[in-house]
Amino acid sequence: MARKNQTLGEFIIENQSEFQYSSGELSRLINSIRLAAKMVNHEVNKAGLVDITGSAGEINTQGEDQQKLDVLANDTFIRTLTNREIVCGIASEENDDFITIEGHKENHSNKYVVLMDPLDGSSNIDVNVSVGTIFSIYRRVTPVGTPVQLEDFLQPGSSQVAAGYIVYGTSTMLVYTTGHGVNGFTLNPALGTYYLSHPNMKFSEDGNIYSVNEGNYTHFPQGVKDYIKYCQQDEGDRPYTSRYIGSLVSDIHRNMIKGGIYMYPKSAKAPNGKLRLLYECNPMAFIAEQAGGTASDGHTRIMDLKPTELHQRVPFFCGSKNMVAKVEEFIQKHDK
């Protein structure tokens, strides 16, 4: 039974039997992510005091300008996961290809792969706005004892064994699920310990917040435009409140607590959408569903999509069930 103010370590040990494979590996993996997150949090909190903000002068595989903290967070998570000999492979939004990890004791003996966005919303660092880390964990599908292959990473979201995010904000929180609900843990910086602060997190079925970059409105499909107008109408419990931070972790976190929908549709500028299926959409969809919400590409459940490439992009609508159903209704009406 989860107890408020229980430490993350205690929670993991007490709930290990809920894991599909309770060998202890997944518990150690979550603990490694916890450690890496504390290290990244320490660096994020130094932004403005030392030279870690701004561009790193490199372009990542997405064609996006890498920030210095992108590189630092990516290196920190990869190093921590590799050194603890827990995973057999890692895929990151910041790397062109997946990384094969060879264990020192018995090569390729580990069973899990991790996919991650090491620092979501990093362009907000310079202006002191919340950023985050997103992670997704799968059991490999290729034989243990062999090097990981692409198919170990190209699994549908429904095959995830765990997923979560860390939000680095006014307080630092680690929120995760292993398929048995969603729990949030807040870091006490004085002790370096995460405590259960948000047990059994839930999306309300309805909400009154919509989160979308309305600066791209003219490029959106007509169905999305109509839904935004619907949100703005003065009728019933509307107009809804518009809230958009520009950091996926922060926007989803707020909407899960307050009730709302996050939208990043396809557009004339991004015909396949902008968010990455493996690093952002699948883990957030798993969390949303475990919290009583839902996630869709406008037509199909996100976690039913079969990935075809590591850096695949998809439209993304995530949040309170009835709000996602309503935007799907508008989209599908115009797509007939």
For the chain, the distance separating the N- and C-terminal CA atoms, rounded to the nearest angstrom, is: 48
Q: Does 171 show up as a binding residue in the annotation?
A: no
Report which DSSP code applies to 213.
-
Whole-number Å distance between alpha carbons of 31 and 25: 10
Residue with tokens 């993350």: 8
Q: Does 213 show up as a binding residue in the annotation?
A: yes
Helix axes 248-258, 282-290, angle to 10 degrees: 10
Cis peptide before 239 (omega within 30 of 0): yes
Four-residue CA torsion sign, 277, 283, 286, 291? negative
Residue 299's contacts (CB-CB under 8 Å, 6 or more residues apart) are 328, 331, 332, 335
Q: Which parts of the chain are beta strand (E)?
A: 55-59, 65-67, 87-92, 99-100, 112-120, 131-139, 162-168, 172-177, 183-188, 193-198, 209-211, 241-242, 260-264, 275-276, 294-296, 313-314, 316-319
Q: What is the Rg, in whole angstroms, of the alpha carbon atoms belonging to the chain?
A: 19
Q: Does 94 show up as a binding residue in the annotation?
A: no
Residue with tokens 């408020």: 4
Q: Does 119 show up as a binding residue in the annotation?
A: yes
Q: Does 240 show up as a binding residue in the annotation?
A: no
Q: Does 195 show up as a binding residue in the annotation?
A: no
Q: Does 121 show up as a binding residue in the annotation?
A: yes
Q: Does 136 show up as a binding residue in the annotation?
A: no
Q: Does 226 show up as a binding residue in the annotation?
A: no
Whole-number Å distance between alpha carbons of 46 and 53: 9
CA torsion 284→287→291→297, rounded to 10°?
A: 40
Strand 162-168 with 172-177, pairing:
antiparallel
- Amino acid 75 reads D
Q: Between the CA of residue 70 and those of 67, 108, 118, what are the distances in Å?
A: 5, 28, 7
Q: Which residues are annotated as a binding site for Mg(2+)?
A: 93, 117, 119-120, 280
Q: Which residues are annotated as a binding site?
A: 93, 117, 119-123, 213, 244, 274, 280
Q: Which residues are annotated as a binding site for substrate?
A: 120-123, 213, 244, 274
